[in-house]
Structure 1
Amino acid sequence: MSRALIIVDVQNDFCEGGALPVEGGAALAAEISEYVDAHHGQFDHVVATQDWHIEPGAHFSEQPDFVDSWPPHCVAGTRGAELHPDLDTEYIQAYFRKGQFTAAYSGFEGLLAPDDAVPTGDRAPGSLPIGGAAGAAASSDFAAGEDAIGLDDWLQSHDVEEVVVVGIATDHCVKATALDAVQAGYSVTVLRGLTVGIAEDLDDAFAEMEFGGVDIA
């Protein structure tokens, strides 16, 4: 049995100074890095998800309701869509990008990014990904490809049966990813201390996850 850590959406736009900041996001990036550095030997695989919006329709709004619509964020190929510079990518094996043309909260809606479009570890903080602002066009190619690999496909191909989920935001993409992982048949744990959420009170989000079969640690 293989075990995987899923790092959800620790991106610049979801951290302080970004387009849709979650309080504590920047600190969380560093905390996850410390955790992975200390515990990577407990995982066979480490993957990360990213919002990667090209034309997500009504998901973007100039007058968002912050339930079904949001200010523009994590636009493909921009600095806001990049992983936060305090998130160490050394142990991350694969990146799954979601929401190109529609709203997407769960990492299980993401598609595997091509190798030449992900951080290599020698990139200066704040620099654009390979391809720069042209990244959006490249993203549409892999998003539409018949051979696109989803997160569930990738985990199954690596014999993963147990996943641990951390990241941003507890009450949105972390919750959606964890619940979808349960539905896909994985044993799922969310590390409460390695998530941050939008709501001030996250008890309901954790209760919903527990009711859905997620272990909260």
Structure 2
Amino acid sequence: MSKRAIIVIDLQNEYWPGGALPLDGIDAAAANAARVIAHGRTSGDLIVNVRHEMPGAPVFVPGSTGAEINTAVTPAEGEPVITKNFPNSFRETGLKALLDENGVQEIAVVGAMSHMCVDATVRAANDFGYATTTIHDACATRELEFNGATVPAAHVQTAMMSALAFFYGEVVSTDAFVTR
């Protein structure tokens, strides 16, 4: 097995049309994530699926359809699925122990939302010393509002990926990642 893990963050039904938090470009991001996952499986990478649950909240309700991993990226038999309750996939989960048990030194991240769980997880991974790669076109986000201004999803995505690339690791396209 390689020393790399592909971390698939929160590609759950809640983010698709009909869910409570539909994201801009989620279908394209999930299709690219599926390509990254397939590449990882072929390369012998550890594929780790992360799913968010929020007990008592109106979204990501445990046991709901919205909390299920979308069929575009269904975990393969035997692949670990980590359930989290916070944006950071490492916080109060077994993710770090799983990566360390498997000798992982490098992680590649795909998923949602770029400005929340992807960001928090990539920064934490970097803090733990993992070499990180974020696959920007295999991540999705949504428009945000702040101080009376609406920030389009494309601008949120650009800001998040540029911030991660500034210090927290490499940020590349799906094509660049799978053709290395």
TM-score, L = length of structure 2: 0.81
Give the match's secondary structure for 2:22. coil
Seq. identity, %: 27
Partner of 2:177 in structure 1?
Answer: none
> Is 1:4–1:43's contact at 8 Å kept on the other side of the alignment?
no
> Is 1:188–1:214's contact at 8 Å kept on the other side of the alignment?
yes
Partner of 1:48 in structure 2?
Answer: 49
Note the C-alpha offset of 1:209. 1.1
Partner of 1:81 in structure 2?
Answer: 67
Note the C-alpha offset of 1:214. 1.6
Deviations 1:74-111 (A, max 9, x none): 11111110001221322661111111xxxx11111253
Q: Distance in 2 between matches of 1:153 and 1:163?
A: 14
More strand per residue: 1 or 2? 2
Provide the aligned C-alpha RMSD in A: 1.8
> Is 1:10–1:29's contact at 8 Å kept on the other side of the alignment?
yes
Give the match's secondary structure for 2:20. coil
Q: Distance in 1 between matches of 2:77 and 2:43?
A: 12
Q: Distance in 2 between matches of 1:193 and 1:27?
A: 8
Give the match's secondary structure for 1:165. strand
Note the C-alpha offset of 1:179. 0.7
TM-score, L = length of structure 1: 0.68
Partner of 2:150 in structure 1?
Answer: none
Partner of 2:146 in structure 1?
Answer: none
Structure 2: runs of 5+ lacking an equivalent = 143-152, 173-180
Partner of 2:80 in structure 1?
Answer: 94
Give the match's secondary structure for 1:108. coil
Structure 1: runs of 5+ lacking an equivalent = 61-71, 112-149
Residue type at the aligned position of 2:138: L
Residue number among 89, 110, 113 corresponding to 1:169 in the alignment: 113
Q: Which of 1 and 2 has greater Rg?
A: 1
Q: Distance in 2 between matches of 1:12 and 1:80?
A: 5
**Alignment pair present for 1:206 and 2:161:** yes
